[in-house]
Amino acid sequence: MAKKKIFISSVQAEFSAERKALREYILSDALLGKFFEPFIFELLPAVEQRADELYLREVERSDIYLGLLGKQYGYEDKDGISPTELEFNAATEHHKTRLVFLTSDQNSDRHQKEQAFISKVQDVLVRKKFAAIDDLKSAVYTSLIRYLEEKEIIRVGPFDATFNQSAKIEDLDVEKIKEFVRIARSKRGFPLDENSNPVKILSHLNLQDDSRITNAALLLFGKFPQRYFINSEVRCASFHGTIVEKPIASYKVFKGTVFELVDQAVEFVLAKLDYRIGTRSVEISIPGSYEIPKEVIAEAIVNAIVHRDYTSNASVQIMLFADRLEIWNPGSLPLGWTTEKLKHLHTSIPANPLLAEPMYLSGYIERLGTGTADIIQKSVDSGLREPEFIQEDDFRTVIYRPVTPQATMEATMEATMEVQKLVLVVEGEMKRLEIQKLLQLKNDDYFRLNYILPALDFGLIEFKYPESPRHPDQKYHLTDKGLALQKKLKNEK
The domain limits of the chain are 4-150, 160-230, 231-405, 416-492
Helix, strand or coil for residue 199? helix
C-alpha closest to that of 152 among 310, 22, 6, 26: 310
pLDDT of residue 125: 65
C-alpha closest to that of 201 among 412, 336, 357: 357
CB burial readout 265-296, b (16+ within 10 A) else e: bbebbbbbbbbeeeeeeeeeeeeeebbbbeeb
- Report the share of the chain in percent with pLDDT over 70: 89
HSE toward the beta carbon, residue 59, CA cutoff 13 A: 28
CA angle, residues 410, 440, 415, in degrees to nearest 5: 15
Q: What are phi and psi of 284, to 5 degrees?
A: -70, -45
The answer to whether 389 and 399 have CB atoms below 8 angstroms apart is no
Alpha-carbon span 229 to 222, nearest angstrom? 11
Alpha-carbon span 225 to 164, nearest angstrom? 12
The answer to whether 320 and 292 have CB atoms below 8 angstroms apart is no
The stretch 112-135 carries a mean pLDDT of 83
| pLDDT tens digits for range 154-211 | 866 778 888 888 899 999 999 999 999 999 999 999 999 999 999 999 999 999 988 8
Of 125 and 149, more confident: 149
Fold of 416-492: Arc Repressor Mutant, subunit A (1.10.10)
Q: What are phi and psi of 68, to 5 degrees?
A: -110, 120
CB burial readout 461-493, b (16+ within 10 A) else e: beeeeeeeeeeeeeebebbebbeebbeeeeeee
Reported as type and span, the H/E element at residue 396 is strand 395-400
Of 296 and 368, more confident: 296
Of 103 and 338, more confident: 103
Q: Does residue 286 surpass a pLDDT of 50?
A: no
Q: Does residue 403 surpass a pLDDT of 60?
A: no
Helix, strand or coil for residue 197? coil
HSE toward the beta carbon, residue 318, CA cutoff 13 A: 28
CATH class, domain 231-405, is: alpha beta
The answer to whether 382 and 339 have CB atoms below 8 angstroms apart is no
Q: Does residue 105 surpass a pLDDT of 50?
A: yes
Rg of the chain taking only CA atoms, in angstroms? 31
Q: Does residue 348 surpass a pLDDT of 60?
A: yes
| pLDDT tens digits for range 213-244 | 999 999 999 999 999 999 999 999 999 888 88
CA angle, residues 385, 388, 389, in degrees to nearest 5: 165
Q: Does residue 406 surpass a pLDDT of 60?
A: no
Alpha-carbon span 470 to 140, nearest angstrom? 63
Lowest mean pLDDT of 208-212, 250-254, 277-281, 320-324, name the range. 277-281
Lowest mean pLDDT of 13-17, 119-123, 268-272, 296-300, name the range. 119-123
CATH match for 4-150 among 3.40.1190.20, 3.40.50.450, 3.30.1540.20, 3.40.50.720: 3.40.50.450
The stretch 14-32 carries a mean pLDDT of 92
Confidence of residue 379 (pLDDT cuts 50, 70, 90): very high
The pTM score is 0.57
| pLDDT tens digits for range 297-319 | 999 999 999 999 898 889 999 99
Mean pLDDT of the chain: 86
The stretch 120-136 carries a mean pLDDT of 78
